[in-house]
Amino acid sequence: MSERRALGMVANLVLYYAALGGVAWLVDRWLPALGPFFAEKSPGAAAIAMLGALALVCPVAWMYMKTKPKARYDSSLVQTVIVLPVVIAGVVLIVRDSIALAFSLAGIVAAVRFRNTLKDTKDAVYVFLAIAVGIAAGVQSFSIAFVVSLIFAFLVLVLWRYDIGTAPATERVRGRLIAETAIPTAAHPAIAGVLEQHPRSWKLIASESAARGITSLTFLVSLRPRTPPDELVAAVRRDAAGQIASARFDQDS
Protein backbone atom coordinates (compact mmCIF):
# COMPACT_ATOMS: atom_id res chain seq x y z
CA MET A 1 0.00 0.00 0.00
CA SER A 2 1.01 3.68 -0.20
CA GLU A 3 2.09 3.76 3.46
CA ARG A 4 4.39 0.77 2.92
CA ARG A 5 5.87 2.31 -0.22
CA ALA A 6 6.49 5.64 1.54
CA LEU A 7 8.20 3.89 4.47
CA GLY A 8 10.37 1.96 2.03
CA MET A 9 11.42 5.19 0.34
CA VAL A 10 12.24 6.78 3.72
CA ALA A 11 14.36 3.76 4.65
CA ASN A 12 16.23 3.94 1.33
CA LEU A 13 16.92 7.67 1.80
CA VAL A 14 18.16 7.16 5.36
CA LEU A 15 20.50 4.37 4.27
CA TYR A 16 21.81 6.37 1.32
CA TYR A 17 22.54 9.52 3.31
CA ALA A 18 24.07 7.51 6.15
CA ALA A 19 26.38 5.76 3.69
CA LEU A 20 27.18 9.07 2.02
CA GLY A 21 28.00 10.63 5.39
CA GLY A 22 30.31 7.71 6.18
CA VAL A 23 32.15 8.06 2.87
CA ALA A 24 32.49 11.82 3.43
CA TRP A 25 33.96 11.21 6.89
CA LEU A 26 36.52 8.77 5.50
CA VAL A 27 37.49 11.13 2.68
CA ASP A 28 37.88 14.06 5.09
CA ARG A 29 40.04 11.94 7.38
CA TRP A 30 42.37 10.45 4.77
CA LEU A 31 42.49 13.25 2.20
CA PRO A 32 45.47 15.15 3.75
CA ALA A 33 47.56 11.98 3.57
CA LEU A 34 46.97 11.49 -0.15
CA GLY A 35 49.44 14.15 -1.27
CA PRO A 36 49.37 17.28 -3.44
CA PHE A 37 47.20 15.67 -6.13
CA PHE A 38 44.18 16.25 -3.86
CA ALA A 39 45.26 19.69 -2.62
CA GLU A 40 43.01 22.73 -3.16
CA LYS A 41 42.56 23.67 -6.86
CA SER A 42 44.18 20.41 -7.95
CA PRO A 43 42.72 17.80 -10.35
CA GLY A 44 41.92 15.53 -7.43
CA ALA A 45 40.03 18.29 -5.62
CA ALA A 46 38.05 19.00 -8.80
CA ALA A 47 37.16 15.33 -9.11
CA ILE A 48 36.00 15.18 -5.49
CA ALA A 49 33.88 18.34 -5.90
CA MET A 50 32.17 17.08 -9.06
CA LEU A 51 31.63 13.54 -7.75
CA GLY A 52 30.33 15.01 -4.49
CA ALA A 53 27.80 17.09 -6.42
CA LEU A 54 26.71 13.98 -8.32
CA ALA A 55 26.30 11.92 -5.14
CA LEU A 56 24.25 14.64 -3.45
CA VAL A 57 21.88 15.23 -6.36
CA CYS A 58 21.16 11.56 -7.16
CA PRO A 59 18.55 11.17 -4.37
CA VAL A 60 16.85 14.34 -5.61
CA ALA A 61 16.54 12.90 -9.12
CA TRP A 62 15.35 9.61 -7.60
CA MET A 63 12.62 11.42 -5.66
CA TYR A 64 11.42 13.07 -8.86
CA MET A 65 11.29 9.71 -10.64
CA LYS A 66 9.34 8.07 -7.80
CA THR A 67 6.85 10.84 -6.95
CA LYS A 68 6.10 12.53 -10.28
CA PRO A 69 2.85 11.47 -12.00
CA LYS A 70 3.54 9.81 -15.34
CA ALA A 71 1.36 12.33 -17.18
CA ARG A 72 3.73 15.17 -16.20
CA TYR A 73 6.97 13.15 -16.06
CA ASP A 74 9.90 14.64 -18.00
CA SER A 75 12.86 12.31 -18.55
CA SER A 76 15.01 15.15 -19.91
CA LEU A 77 14.59 17.01 -16.61
CA VAL A 78 15.93 13.99 -14.70
CA GLN A 79 19.07 14.00 -16.84
CA THR A 80 19.40 17.78 -16.45
CA VAL A 81 19.10 17.60 -12.66
CA ILE A 82 21.82 14.92 -12.53
CA VAL A 83 24.29 16.55 -14.93
CA LEU A 84 23.74 20.25 -14.10
CA PRO A 85 25.31 20.32 -10.59
CA VAL A 86 28.36 18.39 -11.82
CA VAL A 87 28.93 20.95 -14.57
CA ILE A 88 28.29 23.90 -12.24
CA ALA A 89 30.73 22.52 -9.67
CA GLY A 90 33.41 22.38 -12.36
CA VAL A 91 32.60 25.92 -13.56
CA VAL A 92 32.71 27.33 -10.02
CA LEU A 93 36.13 25.76 -9.51
CA ILE A 94 37.33 27.47 -12.70
CA VAL A 95 36.06 30.98 -11.92
CA ARG A 96 36.66 30.85 -8.17
CA ASP A 97 38.62 33.87 -6.84
CA SER A 98 38.78 35.38 -10.34
CA ILE A 99 36.51 38.35 -11.06
CA ALA A 100 37.67 38.49 -14.69
CA LEU A 101 36.74 34.87 -15.34
CA ALA A 102 33.42 35.35 -13.59
CA PHE A 103 32.48 38.29 -15.82
CA SER A 104 33.66 36.37 -18.90
CA LEU A 105 31.42 33.45 -17.94
CA ALA A 106 28.46 35.80 -17.45
CA GLY A 107 29.01 37.19 -20.95
CA ILE A 108 29.17 33.73 -22.50
CA VAL A 109 25.97 32.61 -20.73
CA ALA A 110 24.19 35.79 -21.89
CA ALA A 111 25.25 35.13 -25.49
CA VAL A 112 24.27 31.45 -25.50
CA ARG A 113 20.68 30.97 -24.40
CA PHE A 114 19.11 27.62 -23.66
CA ARG A 115 15.33 27.45 -23.95
CA ASN A 116 13.29 24.56 -22.59
CA THR A 117 9.60 24.52 -21.78
CA LEU A 118 8.97 22.52 -18.62
CA LYS A 119 5.93 20.28 -18.50
CA ASP A 120 5.28 21.40 -14.93
CA THR A 121 6.33 24.82 -13.63
CA LYS A 122 7.15 23.24 -10.24
CA ASP A 123 9.98 21.35 -11.98
CA ALA A 124 11.96 24.61 -11.94
CA VAL A 125 12.54 23.98 -8.23
CA TYR A 126 14.54 20.87 -9.12
CA VAL A 127 16.69 22.93 -11.49
CA PHE A 128 17.33 25.55 -8.78
CA LEU A 129 18.22 22.80 -6.33
CA ALA A 130 20.66 21.31 -8.83
CA ILE A 131 22.27 24.73 -9.25
CA ALA A 132 22.53 25.20 -5.47
CA VAL A 133 24.16 21.78 -4.98
CA GLY A 134 26.58 22.44 -7.83
CA ILE A 135 27.64 25.83 -6.44
CA ALA A 136 28.03 24.45 -2.91
CA ALA A 137 30.15 21.57 -4.21
CA GLY A 138 32.22 23.95 -6.30
CA VAL A 139 33.16 26.04 -3.26
CA GLN A 140 33.59 22.76 -1.33
CA SER A 141 30.79 23.48 1.17
CA PHE A 142 29.73 19.85 1.17
CA SER A 143 28.04 20.02 4.58
CA ILE A 144 25.65 22.70 3.31
CA ALA A 145 24.97 20.76 0.10
CA PHE A 146 24.35 17.63 2.17
CA VAL A 147 21.74 19.36 4.35
CA VAL A 148 20.05 21.04 1.36
CA SER A 149 19.81 17.75 -0.53
CA LEU A 150 18.59 15.82 2.52
CA ILE A 151 15.87 18.28 3.55
CA PHE A 152 14.68 18.72 -0.04
CA ALA A 153 14.36 14.96 -0.63
CA PHE A 154 12.35 14.39 2.55
CA LEU A 155 10.20 17.48 1.95
CA VAL A 156 9.24 16.25 -1.52
CA LEU A 157 8.43 12.83 -0.05
CA VAL A 158 6.11 14.35 2.58
CA LEU A 159 4.36 16.60 0.03
CA TRP A 160 3.84 13.63 -2.30
CA ARG A 161 2.68 11.21 0.41
CA TYR A 162 0.03 13.51 1.91
CA ASP A 163 -0.98 15.40 -1.26
CA ILE A 164 -0.24 18.74 0.40
CA GLY A 165 -1.37 21.64 -1.74
CA THR A 166 -3.70 19.54 -3.87
CA ALA A 167 -7.06 21.17 -4.47
CA PRO A 168 -9.66 19.43 -2.29
CA ALA A 169 -12.00 17.18 -4.19
CA THR A 170 -15.74 17.56 -3.70
CA GLU A 171 -15.90 13.87 -2.89
CA ARG A 172 -13.23 11.22 -2.66
CA VAL A 173 -13.39 8.57 -5.35
CA ARG A 174 -13.73 5.11 -3.86
CA GLY A 175 -14.63 1.92 -5.61
CA ARG A 176 -13.67 -1.59 -6.59
CA LEU A 177 -11.14 -2.56 -9.20
CA ILE A 178 -12.19 -5.91 -10.66
CA ALA A 179 -9.74 -7.86 -12.81
CA GLU A 180 -10.40 -11.23 -14.36
CA THR A 181 -7.46 -13.55 -14.97
CA ALA A 182 -6.61 -17.14 -15.74
CA ILE A 183 -3.30 -16.89 -13.82
CA PRO A 184 -4.03 -15.12 -10.51
CA THR A 185 -0.59 -15.87 -9.06
CA ALA A 186 1.00 -13.80 -11.84
CA ALA A 187 -1.76 -11.18 -12.18
CA HIS A 188 -1.85 -10.19 -8.51
CA PRO A 189 1.78 -8.94 -8.31
CA ALA A 190 1.41 -7.07 -11.62
CA ILE A 191 -1.77 -5.31 -10.47
CA ALA A 192 -0.27 -4.62 -7.04
CA GLY A 193 2.66 -2.88 -8.73
CA VAL A 194 0.23 -0.47 -10.42
CA LEU A 195 -1.78 0.08 -7.24
CA GLU A 196 1.39 1.01 -5.35
CA GLN A 197 1.76 4.04 -7.65
CA HIS A 198 -1.74 5.39 -8.28
CA PRO A 199 -4.31 5.02 -5.45
CA ARG A 200 -4.07 6.55 -2.01
CA SER A 201 -4.84 3.15 -0.48
CA TRP A 202 -5.96 -0.29 -1.62
CA LYS A 203 -6.40 -3.89 -0.52
CA LEU A 204 -7.46 -7.20 -2.02
CA ILE A 205 -10.89 -8.09 -0.65
CA ALA A 206 -11.97 -11.04 -2.80
CA SER A 207 -10.61 -13.75 -5.05
CA GLU A 208 -13.28 -15.98 -6.50
CA SER A 209 -14.09 -18.05 -9.57
CA ALA A 210 -15.93 -16.05 -12.23
CA ALA A 211 -16.09 -18.71 -14.97
CA ARG A 212 -14.38 -21.92 -15.98
CA GLY A 213 -10.65 -21.37 -15.46
CA ILE A 214 -11.13 -17.62 -14.72
CA THR A 215 -10.55 -15.97 -11.33
CA SER A 216 -11.98 -12.58 -10.43
CA LEU A 217 -9.71 -10.43 -8.23
CA THR A 218 -11.50 -7.57 -6.44
CA PHE A 219 -9.52 -4.69 -4.91
CA LEU A 220 -11.03 -2.02 -2.67
CA VAL A 221 -9.43 1.23 -3.88
CA SER A 222 -9.37 4.84 -2.65
CA LEU A 223 -8.07 7.05 -5.46
CA ARG A 224 -5.98 10.17 -5.14
CA PRO A 225 -7.83 13.36 -6.18
CA ARG A 226 -5.69 13.74 -9.30
CA THR A 227 -6.12 10.14 -10.48
CA PRO A 228 -9.28 9.44 -12.53
CA PRO A 229 -10.61 5.86 -12.54
CA ASP A 230 -10.06 5.55 -16.32
CA GLU A 231 -6.36 6.28 -15.87
CA LEU A 232 -6.05 3.56 -13.21
CA VAL A 233 -7.81 0.99 -15.39
CA ALA A 234 -5.66 1.92 -18.39
CA ALA A 235 -2.49 1.53 -16.28
CA VAL A 236 -3.62 -1.90 -15.06
CA ARG A 237 -4.41 -3.07 -18.57
CA ARG A 238 -1.06 -1.79 -19.83
CA ASP A 239 1.23 -3.03 -17.05
CA ALA A 240 -0.59 -6.32 -16.46
CA ALA A 241 -1.07 -7.15 -20.13
CA GLY A 242 -0.79 -10.89 -20.63
CA GLN A 243 -1.83 -11.65 -17.05
CA ILE A 244 -5.44 -10.36 -17.11
CA ALA A 245 -8.37 -10.90 -19.45
CA SER A 246 -10.28 -7.76 -18.45
CA ALA A 247 -10.36 -4.96 -15.88
CA ARG A 248 -12.96 -2.44 -14.78
CA PHE A 249 -13.58 0.07 -11.99
CA ASP A 250 -16.94 0.15 -10.19
CA GLN A 251 -17.27 3.44 -8.31
CA ASP A 252 -19.11 3.44 -4.98
CA SER A 253 -22.32 5.46 -5.05
What is the predicted pLDDT for the residue at 231? Answer: 87
Q: Which amino acid is at 143?
A: S
What is the predicted pLDDT for the residue at 116? Answer: 59
Q: What residue ranges of the chain have pLDDT lower than 70?
A: 1-3, 33-41, 97, 100-122, 163-172, 253
What is the predicted pLDDT for the residue at 43? Answer: 72
What is the predicted pLDDT for the residue at 169? Answer: 47
What is the predicted pLDDT for the residue at 109? Answer: 56
Between CA 166 and CA 175, with CA 171 as vertex, the angle to 5 degrees is 105
| Strand (E) or helix (H) holding 80 | helix 75-95
Contacts of 197 (CB under 8 A, 6+ apart): 235
What is the predicted pLDDT for the residue at 170? Answer: 45
